[in-house]
């Protein structure tokens, strides 16, 4: 491993979690100077999250916030729809004449469809507009205008464009991203890269198994499976042969009411991939404040578990 400081570290086995980066080449206008500072993705927590908040606060009452969702797979499938809820929740209190328009490159809502649609109807009727099959192919940051593959251009007061995603830059540059040059293929028993022996890849950067989301909870499960496998391999033993992952994802639909989706995934030795366990998991029957308390407890516990 070569370090930015100039040194290097030798390894027997290397575990990497490259995360995601964005396919800016699919949006030529975003290459212009200052474009990425004006039209934000805010899909990596930090400065852009705060910058998007400031844009929304500065937006006039009656302005339109446009949110563009990329084709799946992307980090956190329900995330964009939750963001739309929370922006509308803010508008309802501070800018009641404003509106949220969701442009989704996918054919339909990617997670918790019924629950989100119910929330939009009950809490934000007339304030959230959902447009599926609207793939953004370019952006004019100077005018906050979104350009689509087949639909008319759309100008917004605040444009929030989440680009198509791929594995993080380091994975692409080092040849770990072998699935369409976007995602890292791994052996699900060990998370060892299929492109590089003794390198293990975790988290959102991997080529996912069927119905496996790119989520924080899932990445936590990847880490535990990989750690157990690496310990076994370093001791000259076979890694565990039947990993099972659980996944839970909570979404706020108001500042108090929350919904969840859960699933269980088990390794299939014949297909050499993770498959959803039939009948496992499911979604909330309805949004509730109780689930909000569960969500905050989940967050505290998974942070403690991951960073222990």
CATH number at 274 reads 3.90.760.10
Nearby residues of 47 by Cβ (< 8 Å), 6 or more positions away: none
User: Is there a single domain that holds both residue 199 and residue 295?
Assistant: yes
User: Is there a single domain that holds both residue 78 and residue 46?
Assistant: yes
Residues of the chain predicted below pLDDT 70: none
First to last CA, the chain: 25
The helix/strand/coil state of 29 is helix
Domain that holds residue 283: 14-19+166-302
As for how many domains the chain has, the answer is: 2
Supply the pLDDT for residue 308. 81
Specify if 74 maps to a domain. Answer: yes
Specify if 66 maps to a domain. Answer: yes
Query: Does an H or E element contain 74, and which?
Result: none
**Residue finishing a domain among 162, 190, 215:** 162
> Left if phi > 0, otherwise alpha if psi is -120 to 50, otherwise beta: which for 167?
beta
Number of Cα atoms under 13 Å in the Cβ half of residue 60: 4
Specify if 9 maps to a domain. Answer: no
User: Is there a single domain that holds both residue 170 and residue 145?
Assistant: no
Specify if 95 maps to a domain. Answer: yes
Specify if 4 maps to a domain. Answer: no
DSSP label of 252? E
Specify if 61 maps to a domain. Answer: yes
User: Is there a single domain that holds both residue 49 and residue 148?
Assistant: yes
User: Is there a single domain that holds both residue 297 and residue 172?
Assistant: yes
Q: What is the pLDDT of residues 109-153, one digit of tens each?
A: 999 999 999 999 999 999 999 999 999 999 999 999 999 999 999
List phi, psi (to 5°) of 204: -65, -20
User: Beta strand pairing status for 199-201 and 158-161?
Assistant: unpaired
């Amino acid at each position: 491993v070569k370090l930015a400081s100039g040194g290097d570290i030798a390894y027997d086995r290397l575990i990497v979690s490259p995360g995601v980066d964005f396919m800016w080449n699919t949006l030529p206008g975003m290459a212009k100077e200052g474009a990425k500072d004006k039209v934000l993705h805010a899909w990596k927590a930090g400065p852009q999250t705060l910058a998007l908040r400031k844009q929304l606060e500065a937006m006039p009452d009656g302005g339109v916030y446009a949110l563009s969702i990329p084709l799946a797979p992307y980090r956190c499938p329900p995330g964009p729809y939750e963001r739309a809820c929370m922006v509308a929740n803010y508008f309802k209190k501070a800018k009641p004449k404003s509106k949220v328009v969701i442009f989704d490159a996918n054919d339909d809502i990617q997670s918790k469809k019924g629950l989100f649609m119910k929330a939009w109807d009950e809490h934000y009727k007339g304030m959230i507009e959902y447009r599926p099959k609207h793939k953004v192919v370019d952006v004019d940051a100077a005018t906050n205008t979104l350009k689509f593959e087949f639909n008319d251009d759309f100008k917004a007061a605040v444009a929030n464009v989440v680009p198509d995603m791929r594995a993080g830059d380091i994975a692409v540059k080092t040849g770990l991203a072998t699935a369409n040059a976007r995602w890292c293929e791994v052996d699900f028993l060990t998370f060892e890269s299929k492109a590089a022996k003794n390198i293990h890849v975790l988290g959102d950067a991997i080529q996912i198994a069927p119905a496996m989301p790119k989520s924080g909870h899932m990445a936590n499960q990847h880490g535990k499976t990989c750690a157990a496998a690496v310990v076994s391999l370093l001791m000259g033993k076979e890694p565990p042969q039947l990993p099972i992952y659980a996944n839970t994802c909570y979404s706020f639909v108001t500042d108090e009411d929350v919904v969840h989706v859960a699933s269980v995934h088990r390794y299939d030795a014949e297909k050499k991939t993770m498959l959803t366990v039939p009948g496992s998991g499911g979604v909330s029957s309805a949004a509730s404040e109780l689930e909000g308390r569960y969500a905050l407890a989940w967050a505290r516990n998974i942070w403690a578990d991951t960073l222990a």
